[in-house]
Structure 1
Amino acid sequence: MFEYYLLFSLYELFHGTINTYNIKKSNLEVECIRKYALQPLTILLIFLAGCGSSDPFDVNESVDSSELADQEITQTNDETTQDDFIFRLSSEKEQYESGEEVELYGEIEYIGEEDEVTISHAETPFRFSIKEEMRGYEIGYAVSEIGMSRSLTREEPYQEKYEKNAVSGLADSPEGHEAFVEAFLDHDGFPVGYYVVNGAASFAVDGERYEIEGEVDFKVE
């Protein structure tokens, strides 16, 4: 947006200068200035306005819209129980627009006999591994392995919302993957595609490890 403000300011400056100049010079001289100074600036403003309205995800062009339309969504909610814990993974919608915020949630609930239990985990107890199936691109989920803990009260779910996170520049990444991840991180929402999310709650209780998984999918058109 800064470029637009700068160009409009220059336009006003030129226009004001010409109006002042008009007081002192002939109409012919003024028209020459308008032709050779204002017209190129006007063309530049129109060009930038057109660029600003284009899709921010250049990688969208690599998806066949008809193939995407044929993709069927399996489920937007998944629930898995292991011992005294329930893990839930959910997407708010089956389909999102390009640039729209994708709402994914991970949730864990303790259903044991104790009033509460303490779990140990990394930076977060949740992991969201996402793959865009039509391109075959994986969006890794980096989590700091710092030791943390929290108490879970019986039958009171703890939930976290997915925040965009990705790993790029891996040695074995397929062609185009790095550009895709950069576009994913630089803009709101997700690029057009069909996404499968493998989520998990990863934590420990009194030394016993838990890795409870679930899976959902959604489309971005």
Structure 2
Amino acid sequence: MKKCISFLLIIFLLSGCNTEIPIVKEQVPSEKGNITETISENEQFILTVRTEKEEYQVGEPLEITATLAYKGETDTVTVAHSGTPILFETTNLTKDYQFGWAMNTPLYIEDFKKNEPYKTVYSFSGGSYHEGMPGEPYSDDEYREVAKGNLSPGKYEIKAMTKLSVGENPTLNKVELEANIIFTVVE
């Protein structure tokens, strides 16, 4: 009986939170432990992030893209989101430096057409380290170099995220998806 009540309580709590639970498709690392493509989806949206290479040279431009597509039941859906529907976080896994994202503009309302993906190329959008952030502290110089795309040798994770609301009210019907890739930078 206790198990039944606990199960019903969990279902009740999950159904009342308006955030859809994503399904992350299997991420298969290469022999080097890198992940070149990940797909995360729910009933309405599919988020994909991919890198064209498992390994980059220091100073080489990153070839990373992310797409977000609506796959729901109607021909279009109205969504509310911050400056872009896809945000990126950059993590230097070797040094445990985590560069979050910063919202650069206010709320946007737009329509997504079914099966017409929104595509964006990776760009650094992180904020500076402050006390209490996850990961190790990093210097302003390290921040500036990563912001310019000058990644030091090591293993990196790029996380693509979407944080939007279906409809024009940003507090209702929230959708949050995350997908990540892992690659290596070498000299």
Report the TM-score range of the alignment, normalised by the length of the smaller protein: 0.7 to 0.9
Asked whether the 8 Å contact 2:82–2:106 carries over to 1, the reply is: yes
1:202 to 137, 152, 163: 163
Asked whether the 8 Å contact 2:81–2:165 carries over to 1, the reply is: yes
2:92 to 125, 132, 148: 132
The TM-score normalised by the length of structure 2 is 0.72
Equivalence for 1:149 = 109
Distance 1:169 1:130 in 2: 13
Letter in 1 for 2:162: A
Distance 1:175 1:169 in 2: 6
Asked whether the 8 Å contact 2:89–2:125 carries over to 1, the reply is: no
Asked whether the 8 Å contact 2:47–2:69 carries over to 1, the reply is: yes
> What runs of 5+ residues in structure 1 fail to find an aligned partner?
1-70
Equivalence for 2:142 = 180
**1:1-221 counterparts in 2 under 5 A?**
72-144=32-104, 146-172=106-132, 174-185=136-147, 187-206=148-167, 207-221=172-186
Distance 1:117 1:220 in 2: 39
Asked whether the 8 Å contact 2:36–2:52 carries over to 1, the reply is: yes
3-state SS of paired residue (1:183): helix
1:41-89 per-position Cα deviation (integer Å, ceiling 9, x unaligned): xxxxxxxxxxxxxxxxxxxxxxxxxxxxxx9233111111101111111
Superposed CA RMSD: 2.0
The TM-score normalised by the length of structure 1 is 0.62
Distance 2:154 2:101 in 1: 18
Asked whether the 8 Å contact 1:74–1:217 carries over to 2, the reply is: yes
Equivalence for 1:20 = none
Distance 2:57 2:33 in 1: 15
More strand by share: 2
More helix by share: 1
TM-fit CA distance, 1:103: 2.1
Letter in 2 for 1:100: E
Asked whether the 8 Å contact 2:34–2:54 carries over to 1, the reply is: no
TM-fit CA distance, 1:178: 3.0
TM-fit CA distance, 1:176: 4.0
Q: Which has the larger radius of gyration?
A: 1
- Aligned-pair identity in percent equals 23
